[in-house]
Amino acid sequence: MQKFSFNASMGRRNFLKNSAAVGAGLAMPAVISSRALASSGEINIMMWSDYLPESFVKGFTEKTGIKINFTGIGSNDEILNKMKATNGEGFDLVTPTVNRNPLWENLGLLQPFDMSKVGIDKVNPAMALGEKYWNFGGKGTFWLPHIWGTEGVAWRTDTFKPAGEFPSYYDIWDDANAGKTMGRGHSMLLGLGLGMERRGEMDAGSVWAAYQDETKMKEVWTKITDTAVAKKKNIKLLWNDADAQKNGLLNEGVIVGQTWDGPPIALKTAGEPVMYRAPVEGAMAWVDGLAMPTGAKNIDQIYAFIDACYDAKLAGEAIKTHGYNSPVIGADKFGGEIYAKNFADAYPGDALAKLNPWPAEMPWYVDARTEFVNKFTSA
């Protein structure tokens, strides 16, 4: 099984500090075209719905004069399907997750970046995974890191209390919380499998073994899906984007859910009675990136945008708002005390050492999983 990792065993500050030392020996920062910096042009970006807070957009436009035309999405499938439908046209940048590289490699919908224009030395080397995993056909780097985060468990502190310091993925399915939980179709089924493993209802390691072999995958996911269908009545709602997660916790009576880190942490920062934490089984870790479609038109503006993303101050201002994390070295210093407190609350104890980097998803795996998810959602 191909897995991506970024040494989660060390704390965030040591992780970034150590990576900075490694990065010091890399290429000099990018030189951005003066035409882009003086531009009144535009850039068309398809990105996860909550990744561009106003603080970042304002800072970028003030710095460059470039207008961002933003199309928000809530899943990797949306990105891929839109690009297939337009044959790579219509957008200058899209934002796939690093483990989706097998789905993009042979489609011919992306073009490599000119790395002489990218300040990759500003990024934590452990997350600069494009050269290794997105170098399609040896033609260069087709993916750059942008945001990293996790999927774990969020809850209302006024209506739910975990059994211990850490919640569990199984809390979403527990009969004790019936009718008051939420999750996203495919990942909550995976979480259920991890919860079943911890409870001794499945062999340890079954969920990860399913990524390696199609026969094993169908065996494991049949058991997971059968359990999920039997417990479907316990699920209040299925979410597909950040706003749906927030709405579930605020307005729909959800007391505990499997969520991304950003939405509940944003609610917590705003003073709502919400907590997010890596579960006892380990949070799922991901890195979302930037990729350039073959039909990209505003090339100078693309590199100006990347330069802004890799500006530690702008990146730090963004993580204050959206609640995720930046791969940019030093960005956390501009995130402020609240960001630091939220990070500590989300990953106490050995939580960082137990992160599960999301494995690469082969086309056969995605196709089979879709069938199981459809069986669950239509039950």
121 and 81 in a common domain: yes
pTM here is: 0.84
- Cβ contacts of 100 within 8 Å, gap of 6 or more: 76, 80, 360, 361
Residues 136 and 180 in one domain: no
268 within domain boundaries: yes
Q: What is the pLDDT of residue 40?
A: 53
If one counts the domains in the chain, the total is: 2
pLDDT of residue 27: 35
CATH code of the domain covering residue 203: 3.40.190.10
Return the pLDDT at 221: 98
The answer on 266 and 175 residing in a single domain is yes
Note the pLDDT of residue 14.
42
131 and 158 both lie in a single domain? no
Closest CA to 104 of 373, 359, 298, 292: 292
Cα gap 344→277, rounded to integer Å: 9
Residue 94 has a pLDDT of 98
Residue 289 and residue 242 share a domain:
no
Residues facing 357 on adjacent strands:
285
Q: How high is the mean pLDDT in each 10-residue block of the chain (379 residues)?
A: 43 39 35 44 95 92 94 94 96 96 96 98 93 96 97 98 97 98 97 98 97 97 98 97 96 97 96 98 96 97 97 94 94 93 95 92 95 97
Residue 160 structural domain: 151-283+363-377
Q: Compute CA 231 distance to the chain's CA centroid, rounded to the nearest angstrom.
A: 27
